[in-house]
Structure 1
Amino acid sequence: MSIEFLKEIGISEFFDIIFMSVLIYSVLVWFKRTKATFILTGIIIIGIVYILARIFNLVLTTFVLQAFFAVILVAIIVIFQEELRQLFGRVPEKLRQFFEDIPDKLRNFFESLPTWGMNKDSEEQRSPRSIHREIEILARTLIDLARERTGALVVIPGNDIIIRYLDGGVDLNGEISEPLLKSLFDKHSIGHDGAVIVEKGRISKFSCHLPLSKNFAKLGDLGTRHAAALGLSELTDAMCLVVSEERGTIAAARNGDIRQVGPEQLILLLENFYEEMSPYSLERPWYSIFTKNYREKALALLITISLWLIFVYGSRPVYRSFIIPIESSAILSQHEVTDIEPKELKVTFSGEHRAFYLLNENEIKLSLKIPNSVVDGIKTINISESNLSYPKDIKLESIEPHSIEVRLKTENQAR
């Protein structure tokens, strides 16, 4: 198949593909975050089988798989009802955040135009030094608290808004430091049992209560702080760090998962998190589009284009012409065929694009039968649709020419 379909992609088709790619990408990332990749793999395999069944007109297989997809959809809703509730609960907040940020982003863009090409840090762009300092303070403080068996819960927000999930808390807005963190988690402090929120190098709130996770399989015998950390990580993309006063260990919760980490792992985890969440400079505004979750984005685009080719572009009517050679073996006669004029036919068919994707010219066959009563010489034979065999999902439009001339001789005359 040629790339002529690119010429048929208009503005509406372009945005259609982009929208579906974003939607499929969101589903892929959601499956990745819910650790249900194996289910997604099975659905993709069955989807490929379904597409092949549609291409090859396997009616029974197509019907069964359509029913199967309906069952799968219901099963996914039942199995992942809690995750879906959280997902759709975040959509309005995401949309509100997006539209509220548009004026600020436009203002920052136009204000930055005169300074393009200059090495000037914007207020939103944190320097690597300040981020490195924050990582050092957090890691050193948590390691000391674990050694002293002092419980702690630190939340570092990501891109998602977490304020709606916080209960209580005291506003602080103080610059982050090791003494301040240790004093907030001191056992004699009133709010030491709550969570501390760290944002952009400052402690914005402390003594916050977080939603508790109900995933007892992951929590096991872990305590309330761990349940709170896991609970918030299930609802947002925040990084939640916990120090257990009973075990003297550090655990990290993110994207609905929680695991124990050592000192070196903690530093690496924080570095990766800040690298992922730090804003990109104006010189590379589209960098994250191609680097973050690039596998899921490429797969989403591939799936969308495949679906568009099969169900949208593939359903459009098209005309295709084929040149069919006329061979003597295609003519059934007791006479010997010594000559045929013309020696080929041009047949034109109409049908949906997908009907021609795998069509081979060899599937179009010509069959002619000459009555035994015909005498030797040049005979004109009319060609009609009944003389052609072709796939049933295409329609014959024209035959050129409508007749051919055949020179016949008996076997005795030929000898």
Structure 2
Amino acid sequence: MGDFLLSVTSYLTGIRLPYFTWSDIVEILLIAFFVYEFMLWIRNTRAYSLLKGILIVLAFIFIAFLLKMNTILWLVTNMAGYAITAVLIIFQPELRKALEELGHKKIVSSIIPFDSGNKEEDGYFSDKTINEIVRASFEMGAVKTGALIVIEEETILNEYARTGIYLDSLVSSQLLINIFEHNTPLHDGAIVIRGDRIVAATCYLPLSDNMALNKNLGTRHRAGVGISEVSDSFTIIVSEETGNVSVAKQGKLDVALTKDELKERLKKEQNATPENAKRKKIIWKGWGKNEKKSDE
């Protein structure tokens, strides 16, 4: 027993732990953070199924290596470069979405101040705008008038606003109802709201290709989810078939909200840290000015 303890002690004393510096610890934490975020991203996208397929292929290659199947290993070695290119092409939509989500992380904006100036303290929009949107949404739902209302937050939506008709109008329930009224010139498409004003109407939005969405949902709901997948916007959808009021945020759709629930969700979005007001005002006015010049 004494010899065993002596040998264990001798072995342990011979172990030399690596020397760690603060930079090494920070590096390990950063790698762990990015690996964790990568795993969460993979789990919540279509890439998860593709990743399982890639793991099966890698397991097959490992078995070929153990069994010394030289022909298969030669093929794998010569096709490795093409395989990497193919993976990048296959995962292109998911990689783009991951980079967009990384840009939306508040940790990035806190480390790298992309915007200058002071932040607003009143939120993205006023209480009056919330009340007008809620009133209009449920009045349209009561008569089954379809509507698609996109509320802009950090991500500037000029790319989609340009597909519609420039308005620059104060948000009011009467105007919202009139825009989406059947057989009116502006009822088709979505409206984009920035702050307390309607930027544009009849805007075209990207459709979501999320296969998990209910098959009974129409184009309006898929467009609402689609814009929430490519931006941090908050979208309100009023169903023309059922009159239900739903919301889409970060690719998730919540169906058939009550008036109080919608108001609570809007309050939550209002209290989020907003974009620099002055910067957004300059971008907005510049865009509107260019649109008017192009119309002339």
TM-score range, shorter chain: 0.5 to 0.7
- The aligned length equals 228
- Larger RCO (CA within 8 A; separation ≥ 6): 2
**Cα distance, 1:189–1:17 mapped onto 2, change above 3 Å:** farther
Q: CA deviation at 1:199?
A: 1.7
C-alpha distance after superposition, 1:7-57 (max 9, x if no partner): 93334x3552454355245425535754999999x9xxxxxxxxxxxxxxx
Pairs within 5 Å for 1:41-80: none
Q: State the partner residue of 2:273.
A: 278
**Higher strand proportion (structure 1 or 2):** 1
Q: State the partner residue of 1:251.
A: 246
**Cα distance, 1:198–1:29 mapped onto 2, change above 3 Å:** farther
The answer as to whether partners of 2:161 and 2:192 remain within 8 angstroms in 1 is no
Q: State the partner residue of 2:193.
A: 198
Give the counterpart letter for 2:246 in structure 1.
A
Residue 84 of structure 1 is aligned with which of 91, 94, 108?
94
Give distance in 2, aligned partners of 1:92 and 1:218: 24
Structure 1 residue 214 and structure 2 residue 225: aligned?
no
Structure 1 residue 30 and structure 2 residue 41: aligned?
yes
Give distance in 2, aligned partners of 1:257 and 1:103: 27
Give distance in 2, aligned partners of 1:88 and 1:39: 16
Normalising by structure 1, we get a TM-score of 0.45
Give the counterpart letter for 2:94 in structure 1.
L
Unpaired runs of 5+ residues, structure 2, are 1-16, 53-65, 67-83, 276-296
Q: CA deviation at 1:155?
A: 0.7
C-alpha distance after superposition, 1:110-135 (max 9, x if no partner): xxxxxxxxxxxx6x22269x533322
Q: Considering only CA atoms, is the larger Rg found in Structure 1 or Structure 2?
A: 1
The answer as to whether partners of 2:153 and 2:274 remain within 8 angstroms in 1 is no
Residue 16 of structure 1 is aligned with which of 17, 27, 35?
27
C-alpha distance after superposition, 1:194-229 (max 9, x if no partner): 111112222122211001122354141222211211
Give the counterpart letter for 1:201 in structure 2.
D
Q: State the partner residue of 1:268.
A: 264
The answer as to whether partners of 2:47 and 2:94 remain within 8 angstroms in 1 is no
RMSD in angstroms over aligned alpha carbons?
A: 4.4
Identity of aligned residues (%): 26
The answer as to whether partners of 1:196 and 1:207 remain within 8 angstroms in 2 is yes
**Cα distance, 1:32–1:175 mapped onto 2, change above 3 Å:** farther
Structure 1 residue 135 and structure 2 residue 130: aligned?
yes
Q: CA deviation at 1:89?
A: 6.3
Q: State the partner residue of 2:225.
A: 230
**Higher helix proportion (structure 1 or 2):** 2
Q: Aligned to 1:196, what secondary structure does the other structure show? A: strand
Q: Aligned to 1:8, what secondary structure does the other structure show? A: coil
Give distance in 2, aligned partners of 1:27 and 1:150: 41
Give distance in 2, aligned partners of 1:24 and 1:162: 31
Q: CA deviation at 1:173?
A: 2.4
Pairs within 5 Å for 1:304-383: none
C-alpha distance after superposition, 1:316-373 (max 9, x if no partner): xxxxxxxxxxxxxxxxxxxxxxxxxxxxxxxxxxxxxxxxxxxxxxxxxxxxxxxxxx
Give distance in 2, aligned partners of 1:248 and 1:147: 6
Q: Aligned to 1:272, what secondary structure does the other structure show? A: helix
Give distance in 2, aligned partners of 1:202 and 1:18: 43
The answer as to whether partners of 2:148 and 2:189 remain within 8 angstroms in 1 is yes
Q: Aligned to 1:174, what secondary structure does the other structure show? A: strand
Q: Aligned to 2:141, what secondary structure does the other structure show? A: helix
The answer as to whether partners of 1:33 and 1:256 remain within 8 angstroms in 2 is no
Give distance in 2, aligned partners of 1:140 and 1:260: 17
Structure 1 residue 159 and structure 2 residue 169: aligned?
no
Moved over 6 A (4+): 35-40, 91-95
The answer as to whether partners of 1:172 and 1:204 remain within 8 angstroms in 2 is yes
Give distance in 2, aligned partners of 1:273 and 1:252: 12
Q: CA deviation at 1:153?
A: 0.1
**Cα distance, 1:37–1:92 mapped onto 2, change above 3 Å:** closer
**Cα distance, 1:279–1:158 mapped onto 2, change above 3 Å:** closer
Give the counterpart letter for 1:90 in structure 2.
E
**Cα distance, 1:26–1:165 mapped onto 2, change above 3 Å:** farther
Deviates more, 1:148-157 or 1:83-92: 83-92
Q: State the partner residue of 1:366.
A: none
Q: Aligned to 1:245, what secondary structure does the other structure show? A: coil
Q: Aligned to 1:268, what secondary structure does the other structure show? A: helix
Give distance in 2, aligned partners of 1:89 and 1:268: 30
